[in-house]
């Protein structure tokens, strides 16, 4: 007989239910034991393996077979962005139950406990591992490997130079452990080592197929001042700066840029094919081949100065087609100048084609040919005897080089500078850059030289000096210079004379000095040699000589008078007187003999 609902309610032990004693204690214990057998044995402070059962943007739920699941922050898994539900992960059991009864796990601590062993094993077994690039540091990057901060040098990131390190931050990459410092617990990893082996094989395959003239596609890997390094897919080649373009290139970055893809031709390589010379300009026709067939010597062309040198300028009249304007073709002037005096790099110039060699691909140009040659009508414009103004350009020991106009040069010989002054060097008379008046003396059209004079602008004063500085004439002069052979004396009218040392002795026996003003006697005048020889000492010497001569003349006259007187007396005297006169005569003769001896 079925029990009714009312009867069931009456038979239910409400007191036991209130005391949580619905299930008998024996049965309850049996159920607890059976449930415990289904759970894993979990020990705190140990590392166990768990399974990811769910994930969100902040947390990861891991089941380790315990009665409750553990929740771990997603930050502890940031090194592995590919983590997904179902993945097996190692976790560290911190507590079986916290204050809230929650199982506490840590993936970070689990990695840290086993990381050192794993890193050493990876180095020993040459194992490829994953790491998370945390940040930049000096010289490289910091990588999280098994919870350990390892160093990734900049040179070990890739086989090619790295220009932007920041693009690797936050990435998970594969690495090889290349070095461990056991004492300081330092770890060095490399990503480059992973790709080198693969590239080495690629390099062998590429090198084995290389041939001269072969055209390949490459990527600009590095740019230097002397050329461009091209990555041919694991093999590097160099395009020298001269092989980038048919035209002048100041720096390769004018032609290419980093990471640019372009076709190149193999020009050469060594026996082991380790050095590969590439070319870019060889893929295009040579500009000389496209040069107009109508271009000929004498034509005028326009171009841009691309290179300057002391001896000339290179002008590009078309891309890759250059001509040289030698400095001698820049001006009709003959005196030396530098090409920089006429033009500079970047100037647009017009020139005349002087020579053209299409086979040798050479061309010479000139700009002075754009003006008339001043020597064509030189006899008309600068006839002999005509006077002109010129600019002093250079000195030599024998004269002064001057320029009357551009291309018309002349020489003033040192002897044609002054009628009166003896010029030892032109610098005593004028200076470079100064203006000077000249007269044309002679024209040498073949050698493009004029013989010029300066003193000829005035009449020859020596014609007048000949009448003034006559021999034995006396003039006041000043000693301007003394040397071993004599002295230079400045005379009136701007003329100079010369005196030897013995003619510089003064009346008191001393020697004349510089800047002394003394009278000088002309002892020689040579109009042709423009020479006047002077003497100071000759003045008083001649005076003394004249005085001596006068004295002797007076004494001789007195003697004659005395003798005459004696003769007159002899005619009137007696014998006694004769004796007295004879004594007087002897006395006078003795006196005369004494004077003669003196």
Give yes or no: residues 114 and 134 share one domain: no
**What is the rounded distance in angstroms from the CA atom of residue 382 to the CA atom of residue 372?**
16
Give yes or no: residues 105 and 150 share one domain: no
Residue-range definition of the domain harbouring residue 217: 213-279
Residue 498 · residue 529 · CB < 8 Å: no
CA distances 175 to 3, 146, 196, Å, are 76, 12, 12
Give yes or no: residues 68 and 94 share one domain: yes
**What is the rounded distance in angstroms from the CA atom of residue 454 to the CA atom of residue 113?**
106
Q: With pLDDT > 90 as the criterion, what percentage of the chain qualifies?
A: 9
The total domain count for the chain is 6
Give yes or no: residues 50 and 119 share one domain: yes
Give yes or no: residues 95 and 161 share one domain: no
Q: Is residue 553 part of a domain?
A: no
pLDDT tops 70 at residue 42: no
Q: What is the model's pLDDT at position 353?
A: 92
CATH classification of the domain holding 77: 2.40.50.140
Higher pLDDT: 51 or 457? It is: 51
pLDDT tops 80 at residue 559: no
Q: What is the model's pLDDT at position 326?
A: 92
Asked which of 426, 453, 480 is the last residue of a domain, the reply is 453
Asked which of 453, 488, 506 is the last residue of a domain, the reply is 453
pLDDT tops 70 at residue 444: yes
β-pair partners for 453: 439
pLDDT tops 60 at residue 564: yes
- Chain mean pLDDT for the chain: 81
Give yes or no: residues 183 and 153 share one domain: yes
By C-alpha distance, which of 553, 598, 568, 563 is closest to 584? 563
Give yes or no: residues 108 and 137 share one domain: no
Q: What is the model's pLDDT at position 6?
A: 46
Q: Which helix (H) or strand (E) holds 562?
A: helix 537-570
**Per-residue pLDDT tens over the stretch 535-553:** 988 888 887 887 777 777 7
**Per-residue pLDDT tens over the stretch 263-288:** 999 888 775 656 889 999 888 888 88
pLDDT tops 60 at residue 32: no
Give yes or no: residues 106 and 69 share one domain: yes
Q: Is residue 32 part of a domain?
A: no
By C-alpha distance, which of 349, 344, 346 is closest to 366? 349
| Helix, strand, coil percentages, rounded to 5, for the chain | 30, 35, 35
pLDDT tops 50 at residue 1: no
**Per-residue pLDDT tens over the stretch 144-182:** 888 788 999 988 888 777 778 888 888 888 888 888 888
**What is the rounded distance in angstroms from the CA atom of residue 367 to the CA atom of residue 372?**
11
Q: Is residue 546 part of a domain?
A: no
**What is the rounded distance in angstroms from the CA atom of residue 563 to the CA atom of residue 269?**
131
Give yes or no: residues 418 and 486 share one domain: no
Q: Is residue 565 part of a domain?
A: no
Give yes or no: residues 61 and 73 share one domain: yes
Give yes or no: residues 486 and 448 share one domain: no
| Confidence band, pLDDT 50/70/90 cuts, at residue 3 | very low
By C-alpha distance, which of 483, 470, 562 is closest to 570? 562
In this structure, what DSSP letter does residue 503 have?
A: G
Q: What is the model's pLDDT at position 2?
A: 46
Q: What is the model's pLDDT at position 35?
A: 47
Pairing of strands 496-499, 486-490: antiparallel
Task: Match 């009864």 to its residue by tokens.
Answer: 101
Asked which of 453, 480, 514 is the last residue of a domain, the reply is 453
**Per-residue pLDDT tens over the stretch 353-410:** 999 998 888 999 998 888 888 888 888 888 888 888 888 988 888 898 988 888 788 8
- Buried b / exposed e over 237-261, threshold 16 CB at 10 Å, is bbbebebbbbbbbeebeebbeeeee
What is the CB-side half-sphere exposure of residue 429 using CA atoms within 13 A?
28
Q: With pLDDT > 70 as the criterion, what percentage of the chain qualifies?
A: 83
Q: What is the model's pLDDT at position 28?
A: 57
Q: Is residue 445 part of a domain?
A: yes
Q: Is residue 426 part of a domain?
A: yes
CA distances 346 to 313, 315, 323, 329, Å, are 11, 9, 15, 19
pLDDT tops 50 at residue 516: yes
| Confidence band, pLDDT 50/70/90 cuts, at residue 328 | confident
Q: Is residue 237 part of a domain?
A: yes
**Per-residue pLDDT tens over the stretch 230-248:** 888 778 889 999 888 887 7
Give yes or no: residues 304 and 273 share one domain: no
| Confidence band, pLDDT 50/70/90 cuts, at residue 39 | very low
**Per-residue pLDDT tens over the stretch 460-514:** 777 778 788 888 888 889 998 888 888 998 888 878 889 998 888 888 888 888 8
Q: Is residue 577 part of a domain?
A: no
User: Cα 147 to chain center, whole Å?
Assistant: 53
**Per-residue pLDDT tens over the stretch 572-581:** 555 455 566 5
pLDDT tops 80 at residue 458: no
- Mean pLDDT to the nearest integer, 547-562: 70
Q: What is the model's pLDDT at position 405?
A: 82
In this structure, what DSSP letter does residue 2 have?
A: P
Q: What is the model's pLDDT at position 229?
A: 92
Task: Match 């350009």 to its residue by tokens.
Answer: 393
Q: What is the model's pLDDT at position 34?
A: 54
β-pair partners for 488: 481, 498
Spell out the residues 6+ positions from residue 26 whose beta carbon is closer than 8 angstroms to its own.
none
Helix ranges restricted to H, 413-520:
462-468
**What is the rounded distance in angstroms from the CA atom of residue 521 to the CA atom of residue 353?**
70
Phi and psi of 29, rounded to 5°?
-65, -40
């Amino acid at each position: 007989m079925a029990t009714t609902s009312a009867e069931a309610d009456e038979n239910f032990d409400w007191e036991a239910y209130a005391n949580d004693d619905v299930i008998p204690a024996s049965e309850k214990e049996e159920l607890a034991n059976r449930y415990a057998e289904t759970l894993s044995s979990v020990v705190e402070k140990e590392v166990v393996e768990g399974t990811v059962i769910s994930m969100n943007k902040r947390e990861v739920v891991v089941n380790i077979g315990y009665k409750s699941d553990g929740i771990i922050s997603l930050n502890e898994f940031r090194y592995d962005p590919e983590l997904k539900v179902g993945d097996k992960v190692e976790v560290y059991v911190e507590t079986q139950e916290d204050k809230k009864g929650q199982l506490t796990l840590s993936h970070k601590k689990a990695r840290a406990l086993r990381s050192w062993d794993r890193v050493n094993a990876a180095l020993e077994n040459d194992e490829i591992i994953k790491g998370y690039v945390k940040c930049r540091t000096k010289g490289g990057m910091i990588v999280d490997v098994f919870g350990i901060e390892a160093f990734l040098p900049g040179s070990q990131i890739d086989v090619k130079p790295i220009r932007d390190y920041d693009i690797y931050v936050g990435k998970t990459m594969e690495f090889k452990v290349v070095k461990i410092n056991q004492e300081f617990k330092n770890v060095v990893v490399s990503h480059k080592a992973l790709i080198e082996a693969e590239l080495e094989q690629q390099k062998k395959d590429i090198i084995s197929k290389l041939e001269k003239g072969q055209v390949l596609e490459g990527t600009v890997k590095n740019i230097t001042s002397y050329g461009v390094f091209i990555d041919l897919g694991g093999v590097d080649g160099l395009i020298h700066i001269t092989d980038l373009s048919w035209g002048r290139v100041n720096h390769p970055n004018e032609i290419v840029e980093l990471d640019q893809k372009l076709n190149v031709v193999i020009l050469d390589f060594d026996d082991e094919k380790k050095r590969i010379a590439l070319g870019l300009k060889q893929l295009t026709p040579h500009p000389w081949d496209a040069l107009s067939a109508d271009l000929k010597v004498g034509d005028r062309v326009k171009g841009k100065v691309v290179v300057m040198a002391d001896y000339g300028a290179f002008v590009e009249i078309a891309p890759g087609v250059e001509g040289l304007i030698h400095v001698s073709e820049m001006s009709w002037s003959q005196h030396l100048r530098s090409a920089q005096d006429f033009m500079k790099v970047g100037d647009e110039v017009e020139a005349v084609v002087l020579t053209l060699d299409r086979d040798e691909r050479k061309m010479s140009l000139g700009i002075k040919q754009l003006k008339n040659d001043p020597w064509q009508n030189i006899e008309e414009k600068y006839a002999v005897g005509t006077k002109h103004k010129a600019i002093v350009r250079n000195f030599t020991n024998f004269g002064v080089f001057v320029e009357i106009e551009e291309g018309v040069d002349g020489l003033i010989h040192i002897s044609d500078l002054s009628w009166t002054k003896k010029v030892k060097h032109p610098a005593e008379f004028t200076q470079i850059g100064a203006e000077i008046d000249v007269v044309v003396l002679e024209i040498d059209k073949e050698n493009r030289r004029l013989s010029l004079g300066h003193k000829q602008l005035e009449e020859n004063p020596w014609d007048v000096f000949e009448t003034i500085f006559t021999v034995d004439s006396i003039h006041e002069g000043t000693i301007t210079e003394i040397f071993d052979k004599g002295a230079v004396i400045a005379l009136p009218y701007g003329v100079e004379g010369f005196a030897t040392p013995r003619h510089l002795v003064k009346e008191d026996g001393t020697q004349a000095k510089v800047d002394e003003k003394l009278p000088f006697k002309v002892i020689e005048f040579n109009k042709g040699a423009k020479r006047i020889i002077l003497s100071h000492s000759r003045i008083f010497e001649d005076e003394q000589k004249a005085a001596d001569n006068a004295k002797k003349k007076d004494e001789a006259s007195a003697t004659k008078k005395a003798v005459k007187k004696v003769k007159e007396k002899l005619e009137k005297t007696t014998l006694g007187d004769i004796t007295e006169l004879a004594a007087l005569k002897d006395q006078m003769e003795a006196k005369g003999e004494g004077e003669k001896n003196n």
